[in-house]
Amino acid sequence: MNNLNIVQIGAEALALAVLFATPFLFAALGEVFVQRSGVLNLGVEGMMLMGAFTSIYVVSSKGLGADPVIGLLVAMVVGALLGLAMAVVSVTLQAEQGISGIGFTLFGLGLSTLLFKLLAGGVITARGFQSLYIPGLSDIPYIGKILFQQNVLTYLAFALVPISVWVLNKTTWGLQIRAVGQNPAAADAMGVNVARVRYLTLIFGGMMAGVAGASLSIAALPVFQENMTEGRGFIAVALVYFGGWSPWKVMGGALLFSIANNLQYWAQNYNLQIAGSPIAPNLLLMVPYVLTILVLVFARQRRRQEPAALTKPFTRGEN
Amino acid sequence: MNLRISRSDFIIALAPLIAFLLALVAGGGILLVLGKNPIEAYGVMLDGAFGNEASLFRTLTRATPLLIIAVGICIAFRAGVINIGAEGQLFVGAISAAGFSIYAGAQLPPILLVPLTLLVGMIAGALWGAVPGFLKARFDVNEILSTVMMNEIAVQLLLFLLSGPMIDPEQLAQGTRVPQSAQLPEASWLARLAPPSQLHTGLFIGLAAAVVVYLLLWRTTTGFRIRAVGQNRDASRYAGISVPRYLMLGLVLSGALAGLAGAVEVTGITHRVVEGFAVGYGFSGIVVALFGRLHPLGAVPSAFLFGALLVGADKMQRTMQVPSATITVLQGLVVIFVVSSDFWVRRYTARRQARVATNMPITPEVTPATPSEVSA
């Protein structure tokens, strides 16, 4: 293997890392808003699965055969509706957020599987979002391949990082979200409607989770399988802790986990060996999950940035 | 934490039943939209679960691992740690028990083999639970996320062992390489209660576990401390209870029972570990525990109900082509509705407490409240 080859393979690996960071990024950015407003949405996994199936069904010739943009919109609506349901449960009914999130994950897993088996009969693929070469930039050697030959959802996900930072830190909206997450009683006294803010962030977070699912099923892969997210929704929640509730650091985490997720693919494609024998694929597939646990341990110093009211329901006059 | 529900009030017992009915209605609505007749589907399920003696035995068989897992979940949730890792703890319990029985079975007298095999499963599950338990106690790592990750790791570990180190020698000999373990020696199998049905003595293990855990939680100091930590960590700390120790203990005991469930399933039913072994049992166990109001004895009827649902769903899938994923949908809805119903339970108990307080007769025996009591 000569040097040029290694650089080429490296560029290809990074391009793939950017592509598969997309679902992490959508889901985790949505979760940043939710958690900044003081709610923990652990239903992300189920919402991603629902977004993934509904969007591919809309786009696939086996389903409605619509444009990928329509598929994306449907995933947004489905995710938003699930986010709204989570808001009713966790904000209005003040249910324990961890357990209700698991309930939404089970619901999404079950319903996406049920729909998949009944409507798609076991196999479904689609011609989803194609790579969009950015004129000029995509011709830059290596960099072009890594950054500027991606599909439109990937561009959108990365564009949302600075936008999220700006919204959270520079707008009245962001201020209200942060106030509600830090000190809901004070925010309430200032005339901010705590429940309304949390409803809106949960609807937004659900929508982003739906898009995250769609970015897998109608862009990165494009195929649907039972439980295809394989814990990505939970990893996205962990990324929010890892990133200390800051979108830029969450983006770094998304790229890191995307690389970890692709390890097995690269080991297989390039026949990586340790001591002369191939590495068992199942051991490589463990890496992202082990990494998540390690990250949660080392992210504990970041806990100081944790929104003070996270997971605490707010009742006027009680807090 | 809104997990402390110990009053046997009518309304509190009723809440999960109403939640369950709502879940059935919502699930029925979904089936209706998908063009399946929900009444017929539920009828087939009912028939599949209780229609005859054989189906009743199937329901009890299916309820056994759910009961053991759920009893363990009760301990963890009562300690205020949300153990979502029963799935993985069950896998490592099953594979460890199988490994022990296959590789050490011949050297041991049969009378010791069964209890030791089950014990190995328990220890493995306890260790798998100890990892997130330690991380929670020492580093305050969110146990929901870490146990979910431990589940995913266990899935890969299981596949790694079944397709490599622990693969059935016959699969190697025939060159088929189906990922499954060798068969356990017959001496380690649990006795069947009513052949030809698969019902086995594991059912008694489950019932015994429910009683033991009930006694542990409500009749021992350890149990009192576990529940105290679950209800109010700060108050427990001021009372001198080592909070980290009991958080960890909650996860370890919970993992031990999930591991036991895995060992029981492999020695009682499958007699070998195969790919896709007991998938979803861990999550069902959590739903069973929540539906049983996190009470070990409440888990008994709850496990029976969900065992029936799962058995009924198999029949529904066979005869009506309604995928058994319907049950996962129902389980999700049950969880959502049960945790939501706590809202009314809380409101009801708060209102009643207020009423009791205002109607309190002032008698000479009542000593005047001290200022500290008033402020509390």
In this prediction the ipTM stands at 0.93
d(CA B269, CA B98): 12
Mean predicted confidence (pLDDT) in A154-179: 96
**Which of A40, A97, A118 would best serve as a mutation to test chain B binding (most B beta carbons within 10 A)?**
A118
d(CA A157, CA B342): 38
| Residue B217 near residue B75, CB atoms below 8 Å | yes
d(CA B60, CA B108): 31
What percent of chain A shows pLDDT beyond 90?
69
| Residue A144 near residue A279, CB atoms below 8 Å | no
**B157: which chain A residues are within 8 Å (Cβ-Cβ)?**
282, 286
Tens of pLDDT, residue by residue, chain B (376 residues): 444 545 545 667 788 888 899 999 999 999 999 888 999 999 999 999 998 899 999 999 999 999 999 999 999 999 999 999 999 999 999 999 999 999 988 888 888 999 999 999 999 999 999 999 999 999 999 999 999 999 999 999 999 999 989 999 988 888 888 899 999 999 999 999 988 899 999 999 999 999 999 999 999 999 999 999 999 999 999 999 999 999 999 999 999 999 999 999 999 999 999 988 898 999 999 999 999 989 999 999 999 999 999 999 999 999 988 898 999 999 999 999 999 988 887 777 777 777 766 665 444 443 333 333 333 3
Closest CA to A89 of A202, A210, A238, A233: A202
* Shortest CA distance from A242: residue in chain B: B141
Q: Return residues 107-126 of B near A (CB < 8 Å).
A: none
∠ Cα B83 B86 B87 (to 5°): 135
Domain ranges of chain B: 10-351
Mean predicted confidence (pLDDT) in A236-242: 92
The pTM of this model reads 0.91
CATH number for the segment(s) B10-351: 1.10.3470
Closest CA to B252 of B126, B139, B375: B126
- The alpha carbon of residue A119 is apart from the nearest alpha carbon of chain B, in Å, by 9
Angle between helix axes B110-139 and B86-104 (nearest 10 degrees) is 150
Please report the number of interchain residue pairs, chain A to chain B, with beta-carbon separation below 8 angstroms.
151
Q: Return residues 279-298 of B near A (CB < 8 Å).
A: 283, 286-287, 290
